[in-house]
Amino acid sequence: MPLEGFYKCSTRIEPYKPEPAEGGVKLDSNENLFLPREFMQYIVSEAAGSCDPRLYPRNETNTLKEAIAETLTVQPGQLVVASGGDQVIELLVSNMLKPGDEVVAVSPTFSMYPRFAAMRRLIYRPVELDPGFTLDPAKVLEAVSPKTGMIVVCNPNNPTGNQFKMETVLELVDGFSGPVLVDEAYAEYGEYSLAGEAAERENLILLRTFSKAYGLAGMRLGYAVANKRLAETLNERYMPPFPVSNLSLWAGIIMLRNWEKVEETVREAKEERRWLTEAHNRLTGVQAFPSATNFILFTTEKPYMEVYDGLKRGGVLIRSIGKVPGHDDCLRVTVAPRDVATKFLEALEEVMK
Range of the domain at 19: 2-36+260-351
Single out the residue of 81, 78, 332 nearest to residue 209, CA to CA.
Answer: 81
Cis peptide before 159 (omega within 30 of 0): yes
Name every residue whose Cβ is closer than 8 Å to that of residue 101 and which is 6 or more positions away in sequence: 122, 123, 147, 148, 149, 150
122 vs 116: CA distance, rounded Å: 8
* Co-location of 69 and 151 in the same domain: yes
Q: What is the CATH number of the domain that holds 150?
A: 3.40.640.10
pLDDT band for 184, please (50, 70, 90 cuts).
very high
Instruction: Tell me what the mean pLDDT of segment 342-347 comes to.
Output: 97
Q: Where does a domain end: 218, 236, 258?
A: 258
pLDDT band for 168, please (50, 70, 90 cuts).
very high
Q: Is a pLDDT exceeding 90 seen at residue 74?
A: yes
Determine the pLDDT at residue 1. 53
Q: Is a pLDDT exceeding 70 seen at residue 154?
A: yes
* Co-location of 246 and 329 in the same domain: no
Q: Where does a domain end: 202, 237, 258?
A: 258
* Co-location of 132 and 142 in the same domain: yes
Chain segment 217-272, per-residue pLDDT in tens = 999 999 999 999 999 999 999 999 999 999 999 999 999 999 999 999 999 999 99
The number of domains in the chain is: 2
Q: Residue 310's CB: how many other CB atoms inside 10 A?
A: 17
DSSP 17: -
* Co-location of 178 and 30 in the same domain: no
Determine the pLDDT at residue 8. 86
pLDDT band for 31, please (50, 70, 90 cuts).
very high
Q: What is the CATH number of the domain that holds 20?
A: 3.90.1150.10
3 vs 5: CA distance, rounded Å: 5
pLDDT band for 9, please (50, 70, 90 cuts).
confident
Instruction: Tell me what the mean pLDDT of segment 22-41 comes to.
Output: 92
Q: Is a pLDDT exceeding 70 seen at residue 20?
A: no
Chain segment 133-149, per-residue pLDDT in tens = 999 999 999 999 999 99
* Co-location of 248 and 234 in the same domain: yes
Q: Where does a domain end: 213, 241, 258?
A: 258
100 vs 123: CA distance, rounded Å: 6
353 vs 350: CA distance, rounded Å: 5
Ranges assigned E (strand) in 75-157: 79-82, 102-107, 123-128, 148-154
Determine the pLDDT at residue 2. 79
* Co-location of 235 and 111 in the same domain: yes
Q: Is a pLDDT exceeding 70 seen at residue 25?
A: yes
The mean predicted confidence, pLDDT, of the chain is: 96
Determine the pLDDT at residue 7. 87
344 vs 323: CA distance, rounded Å: 22
What are the Cα distances from residue 235, in Å, to 66, 74, 77, 86, 306? 15, 17, 10, 16, 46
* Co-location of 193 and 141 in the same domain: yes
* Co-location of 105 and 14 in the same domain: no
Q: Is the dihedral of CA 80, 253, 198, 119 positive or negative?
A: negative
Determine the pLDDT at residue 23. 60
* Co-location of 144 and 52 in the same domain: yes
Determine the pLDDT at residue 135. 97
